[in-house]
Structure 1
Amino acid sequence: MHFRFCGGLEPPDWILAEIGLINRLSIEQVTSVTTAISANIAHSDHVAQTEEVTAVYSEQDQARALVKVLQFLIGQAAKYDVNARELVVELLQLGVAKETSDAIAQVYERERLQVRQQLQRQSFKFPHVTKLKFAIPPKREDGSEHVELVLQLNTSLQECATSTATASKLPSDSLSISMTHDKFLALYEELSQAQAILQAMPR
C-alpha cells in the first residue's frame, strides 16, 4: 500500500511497529504532544516538546519512539503538502484510531504552513559525512567483486520505504552502499574530477 505522505511509497516498518504508542494516548494528550512536536519542527522549541512527551511517557525509550513517529508523520505530510483530510485517511490506513487521527490532522493543518516553511529552509542543508568505512567482501558465487561503503552522517535518515523488504528499525545515521568493483572505480574517478573542478573554482 502506498501513501501520499510518503511520496507514493510505503511507510517504513518501524512506523507501523510504533503506532500502538499513539493509540494509547487520550485525545488531549495527542493534541498537546502533536502541537509541541510541530512547534519543535517549526520553531525548534525543544523544551515544550520534552515536557509534553515526558508527561505522557516517562520511559525514555517510549518517549523517544513517540517523538520519532510523530515527527516523521508531521514532517513527511508537510514535505509532500498533504492536506488534513488526506492525512486522516492515511493515518487510518496505518491503524491509528479515528478520533486520534482527527486530532493529529487538526494540529497538523494549523501548523502546516510554518512546518513547510521551516522544512524548505532546511532543504538546502545536507547531512555531513563524519566517518567513512569501506570493505571488499569475498567474491560472490558469480565471481563478481563488490565494494561496500558505510557513511556515518551527522543527522538521522528518515525516509519512506522503497520496497516491502525494509528492515524494522528506527532511523539510522548510517548509510550503507554496495556496488560492483568497476562501478566503485568509476564513481571514485568521477568524484575525484568533481573535487578537482570545485577546488579550481575561485572563491
Structure 2
Amino acid sequence: MKFNVCGGLDAPDWILANMSTLSKISSVRIKVLAKHIIDRMLEGVFDYEKVLKLSKDSSLGESEVKACIAVLHFFVANAAKFDVDDSTLSKELQQLGLPKEHSDALCTPYLQNKDSLQAKFLEQALRIPALQIGGWQVQVGESKNVIMRLTTTNSVDQEEETSQKLQLCLTAEKFHLLLHELKTAKTLLEEIS
C-alpha cells in the first residue's frame, strides 16, 4: 500500500516493525516526544535524558525508545517534506497500525509546527550557485574548441556574495552534446512545472 507520508511509496520495513513498540507508549507521551523531536528539527536542541525519563514508565528499553524516536522523526519530517495535511497523516498512521489516540497526539504538534518545519527544510535545501556565461569564443585550429568564460555567484549570507570566474574549454563534439543535454533538461523541467 502506498502512503503520502512515505512520498507515495510503501512504508519501510523498519517502520512497520516498530509500530507495535510505538503503540506501547501512551498518547500523552507520544505528544511530548513529538514536541521534543520538532524542537530538535527546528532549533537543533534535543534533551535525550529528559526523553528517556519520559519513557521509563512504559517498560521500554533504551533501544526501543531510540526506535520510537526514529519512527516519530520519520513521520514528522516526511509529513512536512511531502506537505501531508493532518487528517491524511492521522488516517495513514492508523492504517500502519497506530491507535487513533496516538496518531491524533502526533498530528497536533505537527499541525502547529508544519509551516515552521517546511520553512526550515527549505532553508536547508541544497542550492546550486547561479551560473552566468561571461562570454565565449571559438578557437580555430586543427580541432575546433569552444572556450566559455563562466562566473558563479554564491550567496554566503544575505549581505555578502562571492563570485568565482571559470574558463571551460570544450571540443566541438562535447559542446554540441552539452547543448543537446541542456535543451533536453530544459524541456523536462518545463513539462514538470
TM-score range, shorter chain: 0.5 to 0.7
Match of 1:80 among 70, 79, 82: 82
| 1:91 counterpart = 2:90 | no
Larger mean Cα displacement after TM superposition, 2-11 or 115-124: 115-124
| 1:55 counterpart = 2:54 | yes
Tell me by how many angstroms 1:53 deviates.
4.2
Tell me by how many angstroms 1:26 deviates.
1.1
Tell me by how many angstroms 1:39 deviates.
1.1
Aligned to 2:31: 31
Preserved CA contact (<8 Å) 2:41 2:117? yes
SS of the residue 1:95 aligns to: coil
Pick closer, same or farther for the CA change 1:102–1:64 going to 2, 3 Å: same
For structure 1, the residue ranges without an aligned partner over 5 or more in a row are 126-196
Tell me by how many angstroms 1:86 deviates.
0.6
Tell me by how many angstroms 1:45 deviates.
1.7
User: Which has the larger Rg?
Assistant: 2
Structure 1 moving runs of 4+ over 6 Å:
none
Tell me by how many angstroms 1:55 deviates.
2.3
Preserved CA contact (<8 Å) 1:54 1:63? no
Tell me by how many angstroms 1:10 deviates.
0.8
Q: Give the strand-richer structure, 1 or 2.
A: 2
SS of the residue 1:123 aligns to: coil
For structure 2, the residue ranges without an aligned partner over 5 or more in a row are 128-149, 151-163, 167-193
RMSD (Å), alpha carbons: 2.3
Q: How high is the TM-score relative to the length of structure 1?
A: 0.58
| 1:106 counterpart = 2:108 | yes
Preserved CA contact (<8 Å) 1:53 1:67? no
Tell me by how many angstroms 1:123 deviates.
1.9
Preserved CA contact (<8 Å) 2:5 2:79? yes
Tell me by how many angstroms 1:16 deviates.
0.4
Aligned to 2:21: 21
Tell me by how many angstroms 1:54 deviates.
4.3
SS of the residue 2:165 aligns to: coil
Distance 2:82 2:52 in 1: 26
Aligned to 2:71: 69
The percentage of counterpart residues that share the same residue type is 28
Relative contact order, CA 8 A, sep 6+: which one is greater?
Answer: 1
Distance 1:50 1:8 in 2: 35
Distance 1:59 1:107 in 2: 25
Aligned to 1:202: 165
Distance 2:7 2:46 in 1: 27
Corresponding residue pairs, total: 130
Preserved CA contact (<8 Å) 2:34 2:109? yes
Aligned to 2:147: none
Tell me by how many angstroms 1:83 deviates.
0.7
Q: How high is the TM-score relative to the length of structure 2?
A: 0.61
Match of 2:120 among 115, 118, 123: 118
Larger mean Cα displacement after TM superposition, 55-64 or 2-11: 55-64
Post-superposition Cα deviations, 1:108-151, rounded to whole Å, max 9, x if no partner, equal: 101111111111122218xxxxxxxxxxxxxxxxxxxxxxxxxx
